[in-house]
Amino acid sequence: MANKLLGIDLGGTTIKFGILTLEGEVQEKWAIETNILEEGKHIVPDIIASIKHRLELYGLTKEDFVGIGMGSPGAVDRQLKTVTGAYNLNWSKTQEVGSVIEKEIGIPFAIDNDANVAALGERWVGAGNNHSDVVFMTLGTGVGGGIITDGKLIHGVAGAGGEIGHMIVEPTNGFLCTCGSHGCLETVASATGVVRVARQLAEAYEGDSKIKLALDNGEEVTSKDVFVAAEAGDGFANSIVEKVSFYLGLATANISNILNPDSIVIGGGVSAAGEFLRARIEKYFETFTFPQVRQSTKIKMAELGNDAGIIGAGSLASQLMEK
């Protein structure tokens, strides 16, 4: 009887796999290196070989599985189950993914972009508490997200739904974003965005600060350095965290003012700053929301860490059951 899910988290460095129960419990997990050589042509065959090997190892067959779900970087065509382009995989042309895996493994397959899939994971068994209305925001190299209403991801008419990183939080004098707009959330709240805000504020700051000194000396400063220094009492670092939290509070408030989700869950590398950052964001969130939303929508930190991808992919796979 089909009572398992297979989740795949495809990344530029590693491909993570998980075998999950229908309730979202990870029973087995493993990872292989992502071989992006030769235009990434080894990736799909490597995935297939790894699945075949592990199913044999665990004594499982295709009949044990409801489906396979996959989160992928880049642009995804969910209907055709292809990846239409993913630069960090060296996939410049459309890649057949689902059709090949379905044919070789014989298990139904579903795919979505990695931020959407992580959103499904956090919603299902992470901070989202399996609520039907959850927004996920990931602060990493970029800022991505996924919006779940009524238990389903919002994809939008051109598949651009959930692109929280491109909300405009600084409509005048904002930094230029890779998307071509100015003032996107990503320009001030991604890992590089935090450092960009630091450089901007450094010009006017007068006072002792390890972070300012390092910036002025041309040393490498990371977003983590900024949060660590702020928590340790560095006044300059604190002003950076304030400004970043202002932008994140504004963005989370505006999302909530129109969608009123149960929670907004914040994940990704920058979110490692934990409660220190969450409480700051919440302060501005409360400033910018109206009473009904302030009292009902919660700001939370992600709980699943590295497993969000495979768990979310499992959640995606479980939706194949409903069809």
Question: Looking at beta carbons only, is 21 or 295 nearer to a second copy?
Answer: 295
Question: Looking at beta carbons only, is 163 or 307 nearer to a second copy?
Answer: 163
- H or E stretch covering 8: strand 4-10
CB of 46 to a second copy, least distance (A): 30
Strand-pair category, 75-77 with 82-85 = antiparallel
Question: Looking at beta carbons only, is 18 or 74 nearer to a second copy?
Answer: 74
Per-residue binder mask for a second copy (CB under 8 A), 291-320, x = binder: xxx-xxx-----------------------
Among 89-97, 116-124, 218-226, 256-264, which window interacts with a second copy (CB under 8 A)? Answer: 256-264
CB of 165 to a second copy, least distance (A): 9
Given 59, 79, 158, 322, the residue binding a second copy (CB under 8 A): 158
Please give the structure tokens belonging to residue 283: 């302060």
- Calculate ∠ Cα 278-280-281, nearest 5°: 65
Whether the CB-CB separation of 309 and 34 falls below 8 Å is answered with no
CB count within 10 Å of CB 160 equals 10
Please give the structure tokens belonging to residue 104: 């070789």
Given 84, 141, 149, 222, the residue binding a second copy (CB under 8 A): 149
d(CA 300, CA 278): 7
Given 140, 222, 288, 303, the residue binding a second copy (CB under 8 A): 288
- Please tell me whether residue 260 binds a second copy under the rule CB under 8 A: yes
CA distances from 304 to 113, 126, 219, 316 (A): 18, 6, 33, 16
- Please tell me whether residue 168 binds a second copy under the rule CB under 8 A: yes
Strand-pair category, 4-10 with 65-72 = parallel
Binding residues (CB under 8 A) for a second copy: these are: 131, 133, 145, 147, 149-150, 152, 154-164, 166-168, 171, 177, 179-181, 184, 246, 250, 253-255, 257-262, 287-293, 295-297
